[in-house]
Structure 1
């Protein structure tokens, strides 16, 4: 009997070890139980991490890999597991000399990035293309990247030509095939975006972009059967963009509905000048309506000078990361498959040393599985000048409370620091829990509370998370 017990323990331990080892070698998939979320080997996968799309102003291959090793390390140290990289950025561009001729140095760099992703446990979403003109579209500002592809100039006369002709489509698919041969069986690669903000390409007939996307989603998916394939649009900042997002999000083969949205004083939608939590949550809520059976990600979010003229000039003042905090928490708490994925990984996150926010987000949701909980987003009307976002589960509910009196305007424009809030309570209209606890993402501390119909909040600044356990 003792032998049998020991054997069973050993078998159980071995199976557990196999599962732990196998986990990084499994592909991320859409949850079989709830298609609004993602999973790996049947367990919830919440993609946490910013865009780290290119190494700005670096022209040496070794320096590129050192750059990503540092950024991946910072992210992993704080519990991050995801990023996005542009394969068409100059240092990673494999078609440097002519179409179909693939540069071995760029290929080696991409191999190195995938290995670094595996080393740090970072899943990578690769964006395949981003150019908007064949020639004559240099980098819009220093340290950005050019938005043209002169290597195609001898084969393609215009962007309309690129999207319309079978010869040009095959150029794109040949490039896809190159990456498929190398990475289609590597689960470190999360998925593939057809094009960065494709509707920013100037063509006379916008339906040409839609028909190209519809065709390529299926053809590229055939090359990557175990990885996601998706498309992206420009910042969700105008009524026209609203209609485009409604159309593209609902495309059957667009596997993940994504939005780009920025705090932008030049945007025509007023929501884009609102507090970060409101503009971020609004984009996600709309996409959930447009594509109710898909995961939704706020896949680019941040703050810019009017009309995307450059990074937000007030970033240097946000040393505590109030903008980053809001763009992480708000999307997830209204039903996105993960937190918001920040742009300006270097101008903002790295310069202000804000990596710790990813750890605080992970701690706030630690142990909460929205799939097994059958979690439903709830939005309670503001109480005591507090905004209330929540995910109501069967055994556990998480609520994120945000001070309505503190935002980017008050803190960064008006130089009024967020005040300590004490003695406030909320009445969320939920069943009384057996256990009640609070997590302060600004101090990193948990405290216990007294369950009741009315919840008395501890002293906090900006925001606090409430955990109800039934």
Structure 2
């Protein structure tokens, strides 16, 4: 027992608290600094998932945010702030968009003012804790095509560039040397900055007006690795929406040096595959399952998704009715529960996510994966049969996550037909006996539409509470929270 203190106890207490607070702040700064210096990498514990170079698990929660709005970086900061406030930690940027393009006028002449915009982008990313996937190019032709946004005529020889036509840019030595010089410029200025999630060679390169994507990618992926040895390297192809794409995607996934297996797929009533016309949950999950079937143990991401007018002629007109964000919800949840390394990344960040104020959906996904360490779990992706629900499960060493999605609530029923979601009552979920649910430590369910957790009784089948649209179940066999 300590003797009673006398005198200026209040002063001692205040000083002690100040010291403790100072130590806490210093500890937090040290932790933040360590996290800032950690790079995103493929996890050595499970190569299907990501982690930071300090071993911290990393799930890329975010979206495509290709360019800022009309008010420039101030508008992009608003978007970053909204995403970060909901637990978001990832965006994809096109460095070739007009706002950031470092070669806006003449081939080989790098614009310092545009470079400063990229510098400011990096500063914003660090301020809000958002890792950047940087896509270096997106053009599809040098003037021969009809899409003005996809043209790069300054690369033609007659305009001071290195190529006589589109194919020559990718196959000729002068064109390839030009692209490598541009990569070298980025490397010299940004030097594997850890805020970079990774470098993406091209946006949907098989859409280029020349059959060049495979040999060119095979040559340039090692160049990315050489210049950015601490950042991830990747490539992308166009929407996975017809049979001809299957083998193309297989070859992309098999390319040496391609660290991340990316797939793009949209709800598109003009696509030849019927799956692209149906429920978003299914088209998103099946895209991931197809890439998993190639048997390549690397992280998979649904890197572009959403809904478009037929044949990608514009944003989906029914976005205006999707005030609750059912399309975004399915894009986020379905891929991860089908075995992807993160949620899906929606495309229409401005005319859909921001316009409908749907940022809260990222927070709901972040809540589901809070304290989750996917590489430690060695998840097995499983689908369970149910008459009313799509049931996608991740069965892990200590944690099992299950996403239940109402089959009768889709974009067709809710947005096209105007039918509100039904309340599912008394649903029972039969789980595999080998999961030994009765021995679990806890079973909790989460309603992502109402942001509410509740405990469930340890039993098999599980009795689910009443819910609308979707529900997440989390089963733990050991403590997974700090």
**If the TM-score is normalised by the length of the shorter chain, which range does it land in?**
over 0.9
Question: C-alpha separation between the residues in 2 aligned to 1:441 and 1:293?
Answer: 30
SS at match of 2:265: strand
Q: 2:398 aligns to what?
A: 395
Structure 1 runs of 4+ aligned residues shifted over 4 Å read 10-17, 136-140
Counterpart CA distance in 2 for 1:294 and 1:12 is: 38
Q: Which of 342, 345, 351 is matched with 2:346 structurally? A: 342
Q: 1:96: Cα distance to partner? A: 1.9
The number of equivalent residue pairs is 450
1:325 match? 329
Does the 8 A contact of 1:249 with 1:291 survive in 2?
no
Other-structure match for 2:67: 54
Between 1:296-305 and 1:148-157, the stretch displaced more is 148-157
Q: Is the 8 A contact 1:263 1:303 kept in 2?
A: yes
The residue that corresponds to 2:380 in the other structure is 376
Q: Which secondary structure does the structure 2 equivalent of 1:50 belong to? A: strand
Alpha carbon RMSD of aligned pairs, Å?
2.0
8 A Cα contact 1:386 1:404, kept in partner: yes
Q: CA offset at residue 422 of structure 1?
A: 1.2
Please list, as runs of the form range in 1=range in 2, the aligned pairs for 1:24-35 lying within 5 A after superposition: 24-35=36-47
- Deviation of residue 178 (structure 1)? 0.6
TM-score (norm 1): 0.92
Matched with 2:458 is 451
State the 1:19 CA deviation. Answer: 3.4
**Equivalences for 1:201-216 in 2 at 5 Å?**
201-203=208-210, 206=211, 208-216=212-220
2:115 matches 1:107? yes
CA displacement 1:12-47 (0-9 Å, x = unmatched): 997775334210221101101000000011011000
Please, which of 55, 59, 63 is the counterpart of residue 42 of structure 1? Answer: 55
Q: TM-score of the superposition, structure 2-length normalised? A: 0.90
Aligned residue for 1:5?
none
**Among 102, 105, 124, the residue aligned to 1:94:** 102
Q: Do the aligned residues in 1 keep the contact of 2:37 with 2:194 (CA within 8 Å)?
A: yes
Consecutive unaligned residues of structure 1, counting only runs of 5 or more, are 1-9, 141-145
Which residue of 1 is the match for residue 412 of structure 2?
409
Q: Output aligned runs, 1:206-245, within 5 Å.
A: 206=211, 208-245=212-249
Q: Does 1:186 align with 2:186?
A: no
Report the structure number with the largest CA radius of gyration: 2
The alpha-carbon distance between structure 1 residues 176 and 413, as it changes in their structure 2 partners (threshold 3 A), is same
- Is the partner of 2:169 in helix, strand or coil? helix
Mapped to 1, the partners of 2:450 and 2:285 lie a distance apart of 24
SS for the counterpart of 1:167 is helix
Residue in 2 that maps onto 1:3: none
Question: Contact (CA 8 Å) 2:141, 2:152: kept in 1 or not?
Answer: yes
- More displaced, 399-408 or 155-164? 155-164
Residue 81 of structure 1 and its aligned partner are, at CA, apart by 0.2
1:442-463 alpha-carbon deviations (Å, 9 max, x no partner): 0000011101111111110000
CA contact (8 A) 2:271 2:311 kept: yes
Secondary structure of residue in 2 paired with 1:387: strand
1:357–1:437 distance in 2 versus 1, CA, 3 Å: same
Deviations 1:157-185 (A, max 9, x none): 11110111111100000111111111123
Show the 5 A alignment for 1:72-83. 72-83=80-91
Work out which of the residue numbers 353, 356, 372 in structure 1 matches 2:357. 353
